[in-house]
Amino acid sequence: MAMADGKGKLERYNSYIRKMNSSKALAASSKLLFRASILIALFLVFFLTLTSYPTEVRRRLSSTSSFGAASARWGGPLWEKQVRHSSTPRRPNGFSVLVTGAAGFVGSHSSLALKKRGDGVLGLDNFNDYYDPSLKRARQALLAKQSIFIVDGDINNAYLLAKLFDVVPFSHVLHLAAQAGVRYALQNPSSYVHSNVAGLVSLFEASRQASPQPAIVWASSSSVYGLNEKAPFSEVDRTDRPASLYAATKKSGEAIAHAYNHIYGLSLTALRFFTVYGPWGRPDMAYFSFTKDILQGKAITIFERADGQDVARDFTYIDDIVRGCIGALDTAQRSTGSGGRKRGPAQLRVYNLGNTSPVTVKGLVGILEGLLGLTAKKNVVRMPGNGDVPFTHANVSSSVRDFGYRPTTDLATGLRKFVKWYVNYYGIKITKGDAASSSSSSRYSS
């Protein structure tokens, strides 16, 4: 009995130990499970929060920047005061315009022109380094003298856009911020998608949610005509054969604009600019880099078409483009949506803004040679298939009809103004004379 009792006790004890062990294991494993769940939940919260942030916020959190764009600093009472002050019109029934890309070439000129006639102007620009940002800062300083404030930020920053529309009831947006240039797409294709597609959607989203919804005038491009051969280019011509990623993103923009107009009642006007040039222009463009290289005695590369014919462009002077932008803003009807919803059909327009008289690139170089008093060292090569089109020529009858657009500056006059600005800005002295007989390096100093 004692033996049986002892055995029974032992068995009971062993089974007790087993139970204890298994419940300990259970407790340990459920503790482990609990901790793991917390860790997974924390990870998920962090991941979802991060991925639902707008691009700009993610960009700042990850501290990687697209081509070294300055990180935006915005917000606070002083900042809001500057934003309001800059956006307030000084004429009766004046506009309150948000100009994106205001530190850029067309943006800076347009901002000054709007301000001059009494409209309120607020700039927005990310000051990226696609070309020398010091030129953008110099334009910013020029605008600041006229009390135009440029917010340093990216159009992909949904928080910033929402804040701007919250602080100011913009009547209009002149949207010029974009990744410009055709050949740079071979090096940095995503910059085109970032600014010209994602950025455009971000701006349209903020605009359709704004109250009131602004009317939007934005820069498309003559490049949308792509491989179109019918000249002059009319707005009804084919634009479904882009020759570059830049052109494809601008064409996508026009399709996106159609959708936002259709769904949300946004009033949208696309302007197809034709090769804009002039003072404070873009250093990546041929007329600008040719001027620099001719002055430095460097050879310039001129493209010719596969059939040996000259490449030609409908070069359009900046003041004509600015008048076109203002004409489009003045005739833009109100958006019809409110509370993010469409209340009726809204205006949807596309216009060419060109000069209507193409000049060959060799002709452009000839004018520059005359103005600089130097002969260019020319390297003529067959145009590579990297996105450039051989010929552009605008038919502007729609913009003439609808807002009296009339380009008035020919290429020689416009380039004279550009060269005057260029030598003054870069502190270059030109001594005119027999260009062919002197070395270019002895002909200027900076």
Dihedral over Cα of 133, 135, 140, 144: its sign: positive
327/399 Cα distance (integer angstroms): 9
177/192 Cα distance (integer angstroms): 11
Amino acid making up residue 35:
R
Select 119 or 154, whichever has its Cβ closest to ligand NAD: 154
CB of 285 to ligand NAD, least distance (A): 6
CB of 432 to ligand NAD, least distance (A): 28
Q: Which residue's C-beta sits nearest to ligand NAD?
A: 104
Please report which helix (H) or strand (E) contains residue 269, including its range: strand 268-273
**246 counts as catalytic:** yes
Instruction: Give the x-and-dash track for 171-210 against ligand NAD (CB under 6 A).
Output: -----xxxxx--------------x---x-----------
Q: Which of residues 358-397 bind ligand NAD (CB under 6 A)?
A: none
253/345 Cα distance (integer angstroms): 20
Q: What is the DSSP string of 82-139?
A: HHHHHH--SSTT--EEEEETTTSHHHHHHHHHHHHTT-EEEEEE---SSS-HHHHHHH
The only residue of 143, 219, 311, 328 in contact with ligand NAD, by rule CB under 6 A:
219
305/323 Cα distance (integer angstroms): 33
Select 127 or 405, whichever has its Cβ closest to ligand NAD: 127
Name residue 100's beta-bridge partners: 124, 175
Strand ranges (E), 161-226: 172-175, 215-221
Select 136 or 342, whichever has its Cβ closest to ligand NAD: 136
Counting contacts by CB under 6 A, is residue 128 touching ligand NAD? Answer: yes
CB of 392 to ligand NAD, least distance (A): 10
Instruction: Give the x-and-dash track for 66-105 against ligand NAD (CB under 6 A).
Output: -----------------------------------x-xxx
Torsion of CA 78, 171, 266, 75, to 10 degrees: 0
Q: Which of residues 8-37 bind ligand NAD (CB under 6 A)?
A: none
Task: Please choose, out of 21-29, 121-129, 302-310, 362-370, the segment that lies near ligand NAD by the rule CB under 6 A.
Answer: 121-129
CB of 254 to ligand NAD, least distance (A): 12
The only residue of 273, 290, 351, 391 in contact with ligand NAD, by rule CB under 6 A:
273
Select 69 or 423, whichever has its Cβ closest to ligand NAD: 69
CB of 371 to ligand NAD, least distance (A): 20
CB of 172 to ligand NAD, least distance (A): 16
Instruction: Give the x-and-dash track for 238-257 against ligand NAD (CB under 6 A).
Output: --------------------
CB of 69 to ligand NAD, least distance (A): 8
User: Which residue in 97, 365, 399, 422 sits closest to 222, CA to CA?
Assistant: 399
**Annotated catalytic residue, options 130, 246, 260, 444:** 246
Provide the 8-state DSSP code for 195: I
How far, in Å, are 223, 304, 310, 358 from residue 307 at the CA level? 21, 8, 9, 18
68/221 Cα distance (integer angstroms): 26
Beta-carbon contacts of 356 under 8 Å, excluding residues fewer than 6 positions away, are 232, 314, 393, 394, 395, 396, 407
CB of 440 to ligand NAD, least distance (A): 27
Select 89 or 123, whichever has its Cβ closest to ligand NAD: 123
The answer to whether 426 touches 439, Cβ cutoff 8 Å, is no
Task: Please choose, out of 43-51, 75-83, 125-133, 326-334, the segment that lies near ligand NAD by the rule CB under 6 A.
Answer: 125-133
Q: Which two tokens stand for residue 334?
A: 């109100």
- 215 burial (CB, 10 Å; 0-12 / 13-18 / 19+) is buried
Select 105 or 444, whichever has its Cβ closest to ligand NAD: 105
Select 253 or 265, whichever has its Cβ closest to ligand NAD: 253
Select 178 or 374, whichever has its Cβ closest to ligand NAD: 178
364/313 Cα distance (integer angstroms): 9
Provide the 8-state DSSP code for 286: H
CB of 240 to ligand NAD, least distance (A): 18
- Residues touching ligand NAD: how many (CB under 6 A)? 27
Instruction: Give the x-and-dash track for 133-172 against ligand NAD (CB under 6 A).
Output: ---x-----------------xxx----------------
**Active site residue ranges:** 246
Q: Which residues bind ligand NAD (CB under 6 A)?
A: 101, 103-107, 125-128, 136, 154-156, 176-180, 195, 199, 219, 221, 273, 275-276, 282
